[in-house]
Chains A and B, each alone.
Chain A
């Protein structure tokens, strides 16, 4: 993320930048990058859980119910970690970026209050849902999970509204460096809102779907070929695979929006040094002394992708005033991150197509080992895709924090030793991350010991002497 940028930029600080800038950016990048991995599980894993839950209740499928129960417990652990790391981010906005919050809090801040509302609902219903197993009537319990999914979507939209406002700020009137008037709907539904929000929501579902699928693909590869693993695999994989083509389309549209609305970011993404038509599409490569090096160039394709014609003119980096032009290294990072995002996204789409083909041929969960191996890493690939997407949008905005209004070096705090803070945060997060993985693994160990065929307990979290609460389905009869 931004960390890479900072490292590549060397640890030296430019003369006109506060000493806090570099560590603050690194810390923000690290904590955001950490938190964003948890987001898909808070937002989308609950929906996958509900799909399994629905299936379980509808068809009396105890395997699906067992999956739902275990996923909800996993989601509970990840949700707790996400809740606290999200709180850290709210602290950081004030501690690290007072220039942003103090001046633009009136505009940038209020989408977070809407997010707070959704988060509140999410936290309440997550608790009800997770603790409701076996304690609420089956369908009533199912419905307490629905607000979790819905508020996850609302919360994502609100946070992305704040982020997209930084890319395309609007809806405010400034006087003497102060925000004197705010038009809330223009702030919230800014130019970049819809594209970014839909892109992120789809990404959340895709990451969660592929991650779930990879867990069960590993199980299938190791010979645990049972209904439990097949159902778990299918729910995750099919959700992600169905959304993947949509995501390619949305992403493509979004890139053209960036071309039209954020030419500076587009120049960095496409790594175009000088304004020109017949711009080639550069794959890979870096920018050194203002020149594209080492990349593989496809003639005219850049222009064609931007506006369907080889004669389309793309504004280059030279169109950006020199004092706010991103450095060569920043451009290279944005460009490479974009390539990684598109590359991994395409691979995931191909995987989905492969599945469609195998399913069409065999009508069952594929046994093809190479396919399952690919699935086993698909979760990781999806996370890489997600992270590089955020690098594109965040680093691609530099040197601005709020495009055209606030430079990052003016947003950062001027007090305190942020390197020390960053070191502590790094250690703390590594410990929390390691502990989270450890706990999830120990949960898995326990579940494996319990077995995958939960015949005795079709509904509920613990083997309690309770009657079958779910409607008996055809399978059991």
Chain B
């Protein structure tokens, strides 16, 4: 039962990484798009492609939080009392990002738009970095069972830095690939090339960070390294294959499976983390079993997830199809 809930939780983590992550990545490209004139077209594309979907994508985070705190409440408080600083930073980023994006949309004057745009962009870096650092801290067992771990040391170590940087780079990579496809769909070859180059660069960066990560984990998080190189090895290899395949598709200007391979590469990395972590929730000191809520609560969570499967998923598909067909985008 607790395994099912853990899987449901992980589905949420993956969805947030793929969808919410791409929205944050779009913020990264917004930040680096240059001055108001030069960055107008990429910014416009970013605006129109994430405008209709970012709130729905953001909701995956809420989903993860509520499943975690209802299903594994002691682990939740251990994490929040230890990693409150990165959590606060992530929260700050979320408020600034959401508010600034919504406001920019409605602001009329360029200086206002510039202010909101800058806030949107900077917070798009802050939040993925913080979440990556949190993941690194959890994965390397820096969160004590009783909570109240060291507020700074718990996320100021190589694995957390790796997690944070990897998160930022991966988000940027996903976003560039998605935006590349969007630009092609909008029949804008110039913009498509623009994001293709950026996707390639971010892909190379993500690959480089991952390779560096092998050494970081080897010296800083032995158990994680061991499990990633044993039980989770197929997933890691799969991620590498997908990543390379996506780069190849980008290079050869193909459109088929482009987004899918990029998403699969990221999803497999996250899965690898999950498999390496199993059956522990925190380091090697708190198992899923020990942290789980009573049976009835877990049952409720599974029922809620099933109901979500039949109500939320079709609605999401509808939203994405409408947005994808350009029916919801702003002209």
Contacts and interface: CB of A to CB of B under 8 A. Distances in A.
B38 interface: no
A37 interface: no
Contacts of A94: 65, 69, 76-77, 79-81, 87
Interface of A: 73, 76-77, 79-81, 83-88, 90-91, 93-95, 98, 101-107, 109-110, 112-117, 119-121, 123-128, 130-132, 135-136, 147, 179-184, 413-416, 421, 424, 428, 432, 435-436, 439, 442-443, 446, 462, 464
Interface in B47-82: 51-53, 55-56, 58-59, 61-63, 65-67, 69-70, 73-74, 76-81
A132 B328 contact: yes
Contacts of A128: 52, 318-319, 322, 328
- Closest CB pairs A-B (n = 7): A105-B73, A94-B80, A109-B70, A106-B293, A80-B102, A102-B77, A131-B328
Interface in B217-254: none
Given A83-B58, A181-B296, 5 more contacts: A88-B95, A117-B312, A124-B318, A131-B323, A179-B294
Given A109-B66, A128-B318, A442 B108 contact: yes
A336 B302 CA distance: 44
24 contacts: A84-B94, A84-B99, A87-B61, A90-B62, A90-B65, A91-B80, A95-B87, A104-B73, A105-B70, A105-B73, A105-B293, A113-B300, A114-B304, A116-B59, A124-B316, A127-B55, A128-B322, A131-B323, A180-B294, A184-B300, A432-B95, A442-B107, A442-B108, A464-B331
B76 A95 contact: no
A80 B98 contact: yes
Say whether chain A's binding surface is mostly helix, strand, loop, or mixed.
helix
Nearest to A415: B148
Among A85, A117, A442: residue with most chain B CB under 10 A: A117
A34 B302 CA distance: 32
A130 B102 CA distance: 13
Interface string B125-165: 00000000000000000000001100100000000000000
Contacts of B53: 127
Interface string B285-328: 00000000110110111001001100110011011001100011
B106 A113 contact: no
B212 interface: no
Contacts of A432: 95, 99
B15 to A, nearest CB: 11
B312 A124 contact: yes
B103 interface: yes
Contacts of A135: 322, 327-328
Contacts of B316: 124
A127 B51 CA distance: 8
A73 B105 CA distance: 11
Given A94-B69, A94-B76, A128-B328, A110 B308 contact: no
Interface residues of B, number: 68
A374 to B, nearest CB: 31
A109 B88 contact: no
A113 B69 CA distance: 9
B280 interface: no
A421 B94 CA distance: 16
Given A124-B319, A125-B315, A101 B103 contact: no
B155 to A, nearest CB: 14
A136 B325 CA distance: 12
Given A124-B56, A131-B323, A413-B81, A113 B311 contact: no
Contacts of B66: 90, 109-110, 112-113, 115-116
A102 B94 CA distance: 24
A415 B294 CA distance: 28
B91 interface: yes
A183 B79 CA distance: 27
A94 B82 CA distance: 10
Given A126-B55, A128-B319, A415 B102 contact: no
Among B53, B107, B312, B318: residue with most chain A CB under 10 A: B312
Contacts of B301: 110, 113
B297 A184 contact: yes
A421 B108 CA distance: 33
B289 to A, nearest CB: 14
Nearest to A446: B108
A124 B315 contact: yes
A455 B70 CA distance: 52
A421 B84 CA distance: 11
A138 to B, nearest CB: 14
